[in-house]
Chain A
Amino acid sequence: MGLALAPVAGVIRLVLRRVAAAAVLFLIVLTLTFAAVAGAPGDPLSPNDPRIPTEHAERLRALYGLDQPLPAQYLRWLGAVLLSWDWGQSYQTGRPVSDLLFESLPPTLLLAGGALFTQYLLGIGLGLIAARRPNSWLDLGVRAASLLVYALPTFWVGLMAVLIVGVGLGLAPIGGMTSAAAYELGPLAALLDVLAHLWLPALVLGLCMAGDIARYTRSSLIEFQTTDAGRAAKARGLPWTRIVFVHGLAHAAPRLLQMAAVSAPLLLSGAIVAEAVFVWPGLGSTTLQAIQAGDVPVVLAATAYGAALVIAASLAADLLLVRLDPRLQAE
């Protein structure tokens, strides 16, 4: 019985350790965002503004806690964020920032999810093609293409896609997440409507991110064929497709999963510009709009949300890795 329980306890301990590390990381992220704002020049209540009477300014300072020393302000802010998820109010609309971001989070997750799917579909597919015959023209082509999509700016690819696919061929709407008349549609039609808007931005973003995946898949599959496991599979007379799809991809999977977590910040950076190009109503669009309006609380919270998404992604990848890689469970 002890033997059966021991690995389970080990896994639980491992999972708890990863969750705790993620929580600490989130705390560091919050501290850094606070430091960025505290260190920025300018004072919310400019002391030299003659239009604000001194006693008025003093009262406002006391009201917002700005008269307190920085550590006290920090603790107060941190407490509000952690205990009641209170990120303050938008300067523009007066609405709670958390409500505003709650609305723009799902579109970003949808776009990033779609892009992640295309990224891995294209990356693994191209990697497989390239690994079939190393150093052939096809391989060279895939390698050149993966370098090119890495080097082209995402927003440029997006603009050209809008121009060629959207305007020229008329195959996709040129922006937005829903049609103007989407509120009249039934649930299924509304879903299809969103998908019709999603596919092009997700394809563009996924394509721009697919280069690394293709390169790694290629080199990992080529390398796998020289390992003992690869040669054993070949010696058993398995067809190439089975060697590669079943054994080779299993060999590459843990690292591919880690790459998803590592490239999560890049994916979100890409999502910001993709949202700007395709007028996608997500976190990036909200951030840009808030920057133009000088709405610091919204920018601040949106940045922290981005970092939180990255932490969540790497935690998820860590946990999946424990599930995927039996060696980790044994430790």
Chain B
Amino acid sequence: MRRSSLPRPARAGAWILACLAVLAVAAPLLAPYDPAAQLDAAESSRRPPLSSLLVVRTEGAEPRLAERVSVEGDDLVLLRRSGSVRLPLGSVTNYGKHGVTERRRAWLGTDALGRDLLSRLLYGARISLTIGLLAAALALTAGTAVGSLAATGGRFVDQFLMRTVDGLLCFPHLALVLLLAALYRPGTWLLVILIGGTGWMGLARLVRAEILRLKQEPFALAAAAAGRSPAGVLVRHLLPNATTPLLIDASLRVGGSILVEAALSFLGLGVQPPQASWGSMIAEGQSHLTTAWWIAAFPGLMVAAAVIGSSLLADGLSDRLAGLRAGKGRPARARAPWAIRTWLGQT
């Protein structure tokens, strides 16, 4: 028995997602600055990537930022955007042997309020990824439940559920989410319910078809003949064998949910300040597009990275599924429901 692994693009996708997850979890350690700190906003706002400003600290006052400083007599002259400011040298607390050396570096630039964009991106990853993952999990649960119910619940239940699914699938996803957002005015957590709760329909169709197919397979018929209850057959035998298509859909759904959340936040109906997701950061950047392109540009690339990761993973999983379907696989062991082993492990 040979241990086979996922194809290379899928592994790359998994790595991208893992890296983003690490960035999000470790945001407090990795972020160079407080994502909400507006230090001397008049001077620090809309600074381009890779720029830095000198930090001049004085006793009992907020630190001030300056592009350059020079000493004239007993004064320290701060060269600022709006002109120069003189401070008595004695009041500057961080003036040392080499002058003022403390710098505030904006690796990816600063936003309109002078907040550090890199730090905000890292903290934004927490919101965006959390919403993406939870919404996908919700869609997965709801889709599986509805699909299983339709496949096993008899003709009337099936008809009712599937016609509802057909109807819901007619709505452009974003339009449906917008309608519900308008009616319910969601907070961040309701947003998860909204995005996940409108994204399960395709999956329900998939699960239903999959279970109807598996129901006819010898192992399922045998389990039923051996006296397992229909629910037992479903949970122990049918669903474990449908894990791969479920995981493919779930993987795609993570990226899809992040995109929907970003669009919703961009339109002003998603994550509300002071919380920030990548989508709401792009929205903030829209009004400063011509003077500070980086505010909108970098969050968009983060969204793209997450979506690319999730769809590469899904692609790899579906290649693998095609391999299993071609007869290289065998039914999942009944004892191991939800076994990830069935798609990662032996073939």
Query: Residues on A close to B: CB < 8 A?
Result: 24-25, 28-29, 31-33, 36-37, 40-41, 147-148, 150-157, 159-160, 162-163, 167, 264-269, 272-273, 276-277, 287-288, 290-292, 294, 296, 299-300, 302-303, 306-307, 310-311
Within B192-238, the residues touching A (CB, 8 Å) are: none
**Across the interface, do A311 and B170 meet the contact criterion of CB distance under 8 Å?**
yes
B residues less than 8 Å from A269 (CB atoms): 172-175, 263
Interchain CB contact (< 8 A) of A25 among B167, B263, B285: B167
**Across the interface, do B307 and A306 meet the contact criterion of CB distance under 8 Å?**
no
Interchain CB contact (< 8 A) of A152 among B296, B304, B311: B304
8 pairs, A vs B, C-beta closer than 8 Å:
A32-B168, A37-B183, A156-B300, A156-B304, A162-B289, A272-B175, A287-B178, A291-B181
**Bitwise interface map of B from 285 to 315 toward A, beta carbon under 8 Å scored 1, else 0:** 1100110010011011001110110011000
B-side interface mostly: helix
CA distance A32 to B303 in the complex (A): 32
A residues less than 8 Å from B296 (CB atoms): 156, 159-160
Q: Which 6 A-B pairs have the closest CB atoms?
A: A156-B300, A28-B167, A151-B307, A269-B174, A268-B172, A40-B183
CA distance A37 to B179 in the complex (A): 9
CA distance A268 to B305 in the complex (A): 24
Known: A147-B312, A269-B174. A152 touches B179 (CB 8 A): no
**Across the interface, do A32 and B183 meet the contact criterion of CB distance under 8 Å?**
no
**Across the interface, do A288 and B267 meet the contact criterion of CB distance under 8 Å?**
yes
Which residue on B lies nearest to A270, using beta carbons? B174
**Across the interface, do B167 and A31 meet the contact criterion of CB distance under 8 Å?**
yes
Q: Is B269 an interface residue (CB 8 A)?
A: yes
**Across the interface, do A273 and B266 meet the contact criterion of CB distance under 8 Å?**
yes
**Across the interface, do B304 and A148 meet the contact criterion of CB distance under 8 Å?**
yes
**Across the interface, do A159 and B282 meet the contact criterion of CB distance under 8 Å?**
yes
**Across the interface, do A265 and B267 meet the contact criterion of CB distance under 8 Å?**
no
B residues less than 8 Å from A29 (CB atoms): 167, 170-171
Q: Is B6 an interface residue (CB 8 A)?
A: no
**Across the interface, do B303 and A152 meet the contact criterion of CB distance under 8 Å?**
yes
Known: A147-B308, A153-B266. A265 touches B259 (CB 8 A): no
Which residue on A lies nearest to B266, using beta carbons? A155
Q: Is B262 an interface residue (CB 8 A)?
A: yes
Which residue on A lies nearest to B184, using beta carbons? A40
B residues less than 8 Å from A33 (CB atoms): 179
CA distance A253 to B172 in the complex (A): 24
Distance to closest chain A CB from B201 (angstroms): 11
Known: A265-B173, A273-B174, A300-B179. A163 touches B290 (CB 8 A): yes
**Across the interface, do A28 and B259 meet the contact criterion of CB distance under 8 Å?**
no
CA distance A273 to B268 in the complex (A): 11
A residues less than 8 Å from B170 (CB atoms): 25, 29, 265, 307, 310-311
CA distance A263 to B180 in the complex (A): 22
Q: Is B79 an interface residue (CB 8 A)?
A: no
A residues less than 8 Å from B305 (CB atoms): 151
Q: Is B164 an interface residue (CB 8 A)?
A: yes
Distance to closest chain A CB from B193 (angstroms): 13
A residues less than 8 Å from B173 (CB atoms): 265-266, 269
